[in-house]
A and B are shown apart, each in its own frame.
Chain A
Amino acid sequence: MKEKLIELLTKLKPGIDYQNQTNLISGGYFTSLEIMRLVMLLQDEFDVTISPLYIVPENFESVDAMLHLIELVEDD
């Protein structure tokens, strides 16, 4: 699942070290439109519904945070 996510992110915005980066949001790597696009992609590719209440910076700072988010909403 991690590989799939990194692949998705690289497609969305190449040239970022997704393995190690832990400040994807606070570091300003994404524009608001890219974040919106990312949320839509996660919902489509992982077949989950992400409630907007989970769309907070902490859940997108790193690949691990995003994986955690996906697991969280899978259980919902």
Chain B
Amino acid sequence: MENVIYKFEKILKQLNITKSLDKIAFLDNNKQISYKALEVNALFFATKIIEKTNKNDVVCILMKRGVDMAVMMLACIYANTPYVILDDAQPIDRIIKILNIANPKLIVYDSDNFTKYEQLKDYCNLYINSDMNVESVDKNVVFNRVNQIVSTDPIYILFTSGSTGDPKGTVVSHLNVCSYIEWFITCFKINKKTVFANQTPFYFSMSVSDYYATLLTGATNVIVPKSYFSFPVKLFEMMNEYRVNTIYWVPSVYRLIYQFKLLDYVKPNYLKLALFAGEVMPTKILNDWINHLPNVTFCNLFGPTETTDICTYYKVNRKLDNDKAIPIGNACKGLEVFLIDENNKLITDNSIGELIVKGPFVASGYYNNPTKTKASFIQNPLQDKYPEIVYKTGDLCYYNEYHELMYVSRVDFQIKHLGYRIELGEIETILNANFSVKMGFCIYDKDNDNIICFYDGKITKEELNTYLESKLPYYMIPKYYLKLNDIKLNQNGKIDRNYYQTNFNELLKEE
């Protein structure tokens, strides 16, 4: 039965048998919670949610990232009400945009977010303040709801920014989470001895892996304060204190530690498994980590929110050159991925095509958005005998000589320049392999048919141009270079390409 609560209850039973219900499930820098208390707290809040909702009503969680939020997410799952995590740091306008789409029945907020909730009252008048004294409750009340869960019921709705800037809410079901986590914990041997250091916020799909893998194995999850990722000495101290052995972070965190040369001074002593996803990891940074931590397993994960978190992965198993991209590997077990060309035909050689994902990790669609759902959740183009929905990722890939997938770029990044089809990602791989470049990327000025390169680093434009000319064919050489002191990132810590695509003319003029 694909039901997260049944699986979680099974773990509780196992912990009970070994008398280890006091084991810590989640902790942050203020608070920690054992499995026993986690269940009691989540059941209590579930009864409060059940009083105010019907099953499958949407509940928004407006809370600080931490243990209490982790509890509230579980409470929503018990109540069979899909949750939406609202980032309490984001502008009120964006929260309102999300509320307009999600149309929640209830908002749960903590005392830190009381003033924020006051501004949102008009959008949702039912609320719960999470600062309550928890009492033990009748489990049967909650299990009336739990027993009604069917595996295709939504468990959460995760909002990402669409290319137009309007948020899109991906609806993820029990079936999606159970299938995905089953793969994740089997592939990476996650068990009750695992200690995660959570970095990604709970409104970001990467957190699905460490959150649910914790619940469904009886592991421990250390929710690291955001500020520690600016001061990584603290981060490593915390990791060593709690014996963190597994990390799943965005490449920018790996980059920060690399640039501070932190691994020359301190090491995460218990680390065994280092996973990364969310952005392209520059190979020179990965190689530096491998050189410092030769006994750690490194793995590149790849996938969109729409496939729960991940659809392909590559365990680093050989030496990779700094100027070669890291493969995204092959499909997760239980899933199928394939490439199609512009005519929706299957690609069988090594040419570039769009990545399509088929299988139980593929989400139900976008909440309250049939147009966008139809555009990306499509009938399998390879067969028309029966209905079968697959997800069209919008990502271009090809197979390398090891039959591993290589990520090229988003479909929208593929450009035609001087008659050649060019992937900006290919230029970026070479750009970021240079040791003097801290971070670099390219955009395409369609109107004037120019490639423009933005970078931050200790290298002049002329030197960079000479370097790229030595590595790339002439038609891939940028026309303009712009040295930036501080590259603007979006709220997920990725390069804000939309900003640079819209404003490059002004930025070039300022130069």
Q: Do A and B bind each other?
A: yes
Which A residues fall within an 8 A CB radius of B? 12, 25, 30-37, 39-40, 51-53, 55-57
Cα–Cα distance between A57 and B352 once the two chains are bound (Å): 46
Q: 20 interchain pairs (CB within 8 A)? A: A30-B230, A31-B230, A32-B226, A32-B229, A32-B252, A34-B486, A35-B230, A36-B256, A37-B485, A37-B486, A39-B260, A40-B259, A51-B265, A52-B232, A52-B261, A52-B266, A53-B233, A56-B231, A56-B234, A57-B230
Question: B12-32: which have CB < 8 Å to A?
Answer: none
Most buried by A among B229, B266, B438, B485: B485
- In the complex, chain B residues whose CB is within 8 Å of the CB of A53: 233, 265-266
Decide: A52 near B485, CB < 8 A? Known: A32-B256, A36-B260.
no
Question: In the complex the two chains form, is B233's CB within 8 Å of A56's CB?
Answer: yes
CB distance from A51 to the nearest CB of B (A): 6
Question: In the complex the two chains form, is A55's CB within 8 Å of B486's CB?
Answer: no
Which B residues fall within an 8 A CB radius of A? 226-227, 229-234, 252, 256, 259-262, 264-266, 438, 485-487, 489
Question: In the complex the two chains form, is A52's CB within 8 Å of B233's CB?
Answer: yes
Select one of A12, A33, A51, A57 contacting B231, CB under 8 A: A57
Nearest B residue to A51, CB-CB: B265
Decide: A25 near B227, CB < 8 A? Known: A39-B260, A52-B260.
yes
Cα–Cα distance between A40 and B231 once the two chains are bound (Å): 14
Question: In the complex the two chains form, is B486's CB within 8 Å of A12's CB?
Answer: yes
Cα–Cα distance between A55 and B264 once the two chains are bound (Å): 14
Cα–Cα distance between A1 and B266 once the two chains are bound (Å): 31
CB distance from A54 to the nearest CB of B (A): 8
- In the complex, chain A residues whose CB is within 8 Å of the CB of B256: 32, 36
- In the complex, chain B residues whose CB is within 8 Å of the CB of A31: 230, 489
- In the complex, chain A residues whose CB is within 8 Å of the CB of B266: 52-53
Select one of B233, B260, B262, B486 contacting A33, CB under 8 A: B486
Cα–Cα distance between A57 and B226 once the two chains are bound (Å): 12
Most buried by A among B227, B230, B260: B230
Cα–Cα distance between A38 and B126 once the two chains are bound (Å): 45
CB distance from A15 to the nearest CB of B (A): 15
Cα–Cα distance between A17 and B234 once the two chains are bound (Å): 27
Most buried by B among A25, A34, A35: A35
Cα–Cα distance between A31 and B260 once the two chains are bound (Å): 16
- In the complex, chain B residues whose CB is within 8 Å of the CB of A52: 232-233, 260-262, 264-266
Cα–Cα distance between A25 and B260 once the two chains are bound (Å): 18
Nearest A residue to B89, CB-CB: A28
CB distance from B257 to the nearest CB of A (A): 8
CB distance from A33 to the nearest CB of B (A): 6
Question: In the complex the two chains form, is A36's CB within 8 Å of B259's CB?
Answer: yes
A30-B230, A37-B486, A56-B234 known, 6 other contacts, Cβ within 8 Å:
A12-B485, A32-B230, A33-B486, A35-B231, A53-B233, A57-B227
Nearest B residue to A32, CB-CB: B230
- In the complex, chain B residues whose CB is within 8 Å of the CB of A37: 485-486
Sorted nearest first, the 4 A-B pairs with minimum C-beta distance are A32-B230, A52-B260, A52-B262, A35-B230
Most buried by B among A12, A36, A37, A52: A52
- In the complex, chain B residues whose CB is within 8 Å of the CB of A56: 231, 233-234
